[in-house]
Amino acid sequence: MLQYKVAIIGAGPAGYFAAQALQNLANAERSFSIDMIERLPTPWGLVRSGVAPDHPKIKTVSKVFEKIAAEPNFRLFGNIELGSGISLEDLKSRYDAIVIATGSSLGKTLGIPGENLPGSISAADFVPWYNGHPDYVEIDVPLDTDTAIVIGAGNVAMDVARMLALDPTELDVTDTADHAIEAFKKSQVRHVYMSARRGAEHAAFTSPELRELPKLEHTNVIMHQADIAEAIARAGDEPKKDVKSNFDAMQLIAQTSLGEHDRTMEFLFQHTPKEILGTNRVEGVLYSTPKGDVTIKCGLVITAIGYQAVAIDGVPYENGKVINKDGRVADNLYVVGWAKRGPSGVIGTNKSDAAAVVELLLSDLTTPKSAGDITELLTHQIVVTQEDWQRINEAEVLAGEPKGKPRVKEVVKENLLKLGGVI
């Protein structure tokens, strides 16, 4: 029996699906010991800190992750960061293969004047703020303005706009961080624009997300009929299936009659931001449009125009992604998920992607060569094991029960470690 040791760095969907693929490939001749290393005391990556709290069904994929983690030969090393707590060099001799699954968490910037004004923030900061990521609790999100603009035309922009525009009482039964629910309840934001640089035919939203907008109970959603008609004309006779499906969903929004709501979410297409205006704080956005320059006043701008990976020492990066060929980075070093592909694809995309990379990893393996154990490196560090994480998980779920929430997230790192019983 050949016994291989594999380290997976990052406990997001891609990391778990890589672990699952390895577990599926174990047989009478070979077995895999899997160590998953995660910088936070909590696993699940963007399923915990990205996916919108009003989409609880999507988060049930975490049950799959927990099943993978419950297998023998799986160990979680939470609260350990590759690059600061331990280095790639430390790991190389101790594992037969290392899989980077660290995602893509830095917001891309527009590179226009005014982007650094107070009141201009990235979705890469705003989303983890409302989702209770310990590193983002202190982000300043000024909601003392009646108008907010979300720049971007993908599902992240849509989540952000919806979170700003919905009635915050709808969040009471979700796992939105308490500090964010409190802030949303005090929010003066009533009009949320979502602006896209190109026409509706190029929007990266997916139709299920568009289709749920007319169902918002307390918010009018405005999509201008002319924008859709022009986009349909530009797309020609045979638009791709997903574009056609988006057009249908957009028509549905445009045809939905508006209610007596004081909250509005409005789509703007062919609006290219030229400058974020303001002196001490955001006061508006200057756009270039086919009809000339237009200024829209607002007190908050959130950019949702993509993500790039945070670099780790010893791992080569280019254009915000780990340099790789089909997931292979170097000898015994692989990459999966958003760190490999960039910020594209839904949770399920990472499953087939990780499985293909693990096949490649398997084809590279010879005889097991690893020596030593990671625990030798961690004698002075606080590790959150799978059992410790389960204690955190149970405590959060229990705290949510009386409030009808799936969980109440603990957002302070030290308190998470206390819940886990490790300090």
Using CB under 6 A, list all residues that contact ligand FAD: 9-15, 37-40, 45-46, 50-51, 55, 58, 81-83, 101-103, 105, 127, 156, 159, 312, 337-339, 345-347, 350
The pairing of beta strand 317-318 with beta strand 321-322: antiparallel
- Least distance between ligand FAD and beta carbon 337 (Å): 2
| 3-state SS assignment for residue 264 | strand
Please state, in angstroms and rounded to a whole number, the distance separating the CA atoms of residues 111 and 45.
28
- 331 by Cβ neighbours in 10 Å (0-12 / 13-18 / 19+) ranks as exposed
Q: Which pair of structure tokens corresponds to residue 402? A: 């009386």
- Least distance between ligand FAD and beta carbon 281 (Å): 25
Residue number with CB closer to ligand FAD (126 or 287): 126
- Least distance between ligand FAD and beta carbon 62 (Å): 11
Residue number with CB closer to ligand FAD (254 or 341): 341
Residue number with CB closer to ligand FAD (161 or 221): 161
Looking at the DSSP assignment, which residues form a beta bridge with residue 100?
Answer: 9, 335
- Least distance between ligand FAD and beta carbon 124 (Å): 8
Find the angle CA(72)-CA(74)-CA(80) to the nearest 5 degrees: 155
The pairing of beta strand 147-151 with beta strand 191-195: parallel
- Least distance between ligand FAD and beta carbon 28 (Å): 30
| CA distances to 108, 130, 278, 301 from 282, in Å | 19, 21, 5, 7
Q: Taking Cα atoms as reference points, which of 245, 239, 177, 151 lies closest to residue 206?
A: 245
**Tokens 């297409």 belong to which residue?**
269
Residue number with CB closer to ligand FAD (285 or 339): 339
- Least distance between ligand FAD and beta carbon 347 (Å): 4
Greatest CA separation found in the chain? 70
Residue number with CB closer to ligand FAD (229 or 378): 378
Please state, in angstroms and rounded to a whole number, the distance separating the CA atoms of residues 400 and 241.
41
